[in-house]
Each structure stands twice: as structure tokens, then as C-alpha cells.
A = this chain, B = another copy of it.
Amino acid sequence: MSTSFQQHKAGDLHFLKRLNRSAILELVRRTPGLTRADIATQAQLTKATVGTGVQSLLNQGWLSEGELQKSSGGRPGRALHLNDRHYVMLGAEVGVHGLRLVACSLSGEVLASHHEHLVPTTPEVTAGLLAERLHSLHSAPSVSDRHCLGVGVALPGPIDPRKPVLRLAPNLGWRDIRFLELLRPHFPKLEGTWLMDNEAKSAAFGEFYFRTGQVPDSLVYVSAGTGIGSGMVEGNHLPLLSRGLQGLAGEIGHTILQPGGLYCHCGNRGCAETLVSGWSIRAALGIAEDEELVESLLPRLQEENVQLTLRRAGEALGTLLLNLHHTQNPSELVLGGSLVQLGAPLLDPALAYFKANQNRLLGTTQQVPLRVIEDSTFIAARGAAAQVLASVIHGPSDLI
């Protein structure tokens, strides 16, 4: 269960037709307002092919026609946009501290959302509750009249790359859970794509896929919360999300930053998470599990030991970012997760370290764009919805 679409080795005429439809849709998605003529130029197709392709996408509710462009001497072209009123994707995140749900339009706009706190419990109970909330969201006023493309679920742990199994979620206490199998029976009628993925990977995918205009070649999302994870997306036309052999790609919280350092819950020594993570900050400052970490720390940011702890964690985070820079060198880095809300005491040392050291090797002045997401509440859920959309556009669906 993933977003690595069958690289369709070969195909027939129907396959070619679908490929061209996908290409047209992707072009308009990435560059809203394109005319048929623009598409023909960019996709290397003839006007005729684009014309019929666009017509069928209009009929099926994927695209809508907009205003006329300004003429540049001849007949003005008609702008094309995503039809943002016909389809909807549902996305959800099962986090350590609660459930987050969104209903998304094709362009990534959040039509409706829901967030509730939840103490970690069994997969079955969680699935039941999530199903209930999904049903509510699906019947919300702005959602219920749309065709639903599917449901994506983001989970806090590594996913098997070959089958939809959550291998481990240390902070939920789950292991080898086929979460979709618990969820689907609650939706006997809802057709469409069902998928699940790691939360950092879903978030990375969403941040990449819903981008319009200048799209980066690759993007890494770093999720800093109870644990630290990352996801990398790459490849413009057919975005690829690496999972790795065991789904461990992006488990950067368990890269070693301090050989011989403190013991991590995984059993290794000196993991990044022993230096920067929700749990290590709790441990350093003696904050109990049942207290909200961010809420209890925000009033205490002036305390000296809090400042010191966060500065050290921030330096480790900066090192982690630099190591990603020298391992995957993404075109854009995005930093999210609940720890971001701790603000400057944590982030300033991290960003300062990264900015000061990223160009040492090449000696250039080009800075890798690094974006900090202040409120990442719904980022992973929205990313899971993006994965649903991508699986429909690039996958074997006959909706296109």
C-alpha cells in the first residue's frame, strides 16, 4: 500500500490514452490557468489530442473552464482549472495524542476537519472511533454531495513497503497492525482507494503534491514530535516516495549522532532521538507522560534549564538537518511536528547551525529553502488525502 505506482512496463492504446489524460490533468493541477495550447506545447501533444483529452476530463468533473486569457495577437485561449467542487478525498492521522481528520478538495483545500485528543488505546477501539469520525466528516455539508475518491490514513510508525501493515508504533504500543482491515468493515459502501502510510511520508507527499507553480524536484519533510521521522518525495511527473526494504527509510530519529551516547528505547546508543524528541525533552525536564508537553513548557521558556535543554535539542536537530542535506540533498526542507510550537528556543539554534554549515563543502551561497510549518495539525492527514488523489491519477483507476 503505497504511492509507488506500477511503473507500467508496457501497454496498449487504452493505456496510452489514460497516460495522456493523466499528463494533462497533472499539468493543469501544477499550473492552474493553463490553456489547451499551453498543454499541447508542454506535453508535446497535438492540439487535437489535447482537445479531446480536456473534453473528457471536463465531462468527468476533473477540470473546469475559466476566463479567457488576454490575447497576444490572435484568438485568446481559455484558462483551465481543476474542478474543485466535484471530488473529495478523506485523510486521517492517528497520532500518539489524538485523531486528526480532513476532507480535501482536488487542489488540497481543507473542506472540513476534525481534531480530538485520544489517549493511546487498542487498534480496534481506535479504528472504531476513527470510522465514526470519518462517517461524520463524509456527511458534512460541504462534503456529502461530492464523489469520494478514497481514504488515506497516516500512522506514527514504519509501514511495510509491500503490504499494508504497520510494523511498529512504539509510542502507541502497537506492533504488526493491519489497520485498514480494521477500518474497512465500517464502510461497506464506500468505494475508492484505501491506503495507509507513515505520517512523515504522508506529510512529505502532501507538501509536495499539492504545491502549484514552481514545484521543487524533491522535498524532505521532518516531523519532530514524540519521535523524529522524515519522508522524501522525488520526481516531478510521477512522485516517488521511498519506503525502503523494511519501511525504515526516514527513521532519522534512530540515526546515530553521538556514538556511545545515551541509550535509546530502541536499544542502540546515541540515537538522534536521545538528543531531540518529545520523549527525550520530557526525560530531561521531568515532565510526566500525562501532561501535554508543549502546553506545560510554553510558560516555562524563560527558565534556564529549559532554555539549555531546548538549545541542546535544537543543535541536535540542526545536525540532523545537515546530515539529511549531505545524504539526500532535497530541493526543499520542511520542518513540522508538535515540537515546532516551542518556537525560537528550539528552532533558532537548529536553523542557525544548518544555515551556517550547509555550504561549507561546495563553497556556494545558494541556500536550500527550509520552511517551518507553525501549525502542522492536519499536515499528515492532508498528505494522506493527497496520496489518495495520486493513486487515482496515476494508478489503475478508470475514473480518468
**Chain A residues engaging chain B, CB cutoff 8 angstroms:** 4, 7, 9-13, 15-16, 19-20, 23-24, 26-27, 42-45, 158, 161, 167-168, 216-218, 230, 234-238, 240, 242-252, 254-259, 266-268, 315-316, 319, 322-331, 357, 360-364, 366, 368
Contact = CB atoms under 8 A, between A and B. Distances in A.
Contact of A327 (B250, B319, B362): B250
B10 A24 contact: yes
A48 B305 CA distance: 75
7 contacts: A10-B45, A244-B328, A247-B329, A254-B326, A255-B322, A256-B257, A266-B361
Which 6 A-B residue pairings sit nearest by Cβ, starting from the closest? A244-B329, A10-B23, A248-B329, A7-B237, A9-B23, A267-B360
A317 to B, nearest CB: 12
B362 A44 contact: no
Q: Which of A9, A10, A267, A330 has the most CB of B within 10 A?
A: A10
A244 B218 contact: yes
Contacts of A327: 230, 249-252, 255, 323-324, 327-328
Contact of A326 (B7, B26, B251): B251
A218 B242 CA distance: 9
Instruction: Please tell me how many copies of the chain the complex holds.
Output: 2
Nearest to A332: B245
A268 B7 CA distance: 41
Task: Tell me whether chain A's interface is mostly helix, strand or loop, or mixed.
Answer: loop
Contacts of A167: 362
Contacts of A168: 361-363
Given A9-B237, A234-B242, A360-B267, A323 B326 contact: no
A24 B257 CA distance: 46
Contacts of A11: 16, 19-20, 44
Contacts of A319: 256, 259
Contacts of A257: 256-257, 259
A40 B366 CA distance: 49
A245 B323 contact: no
Contacts of A19: 10-11
B245 A331 contact: yes
Given A16-B13, A242-B218, A254-B361, A235 B7 contact: yes
Contacts of A234: 240, 242
A268 B357 contact: yes
A266 B245 CA distance: 32
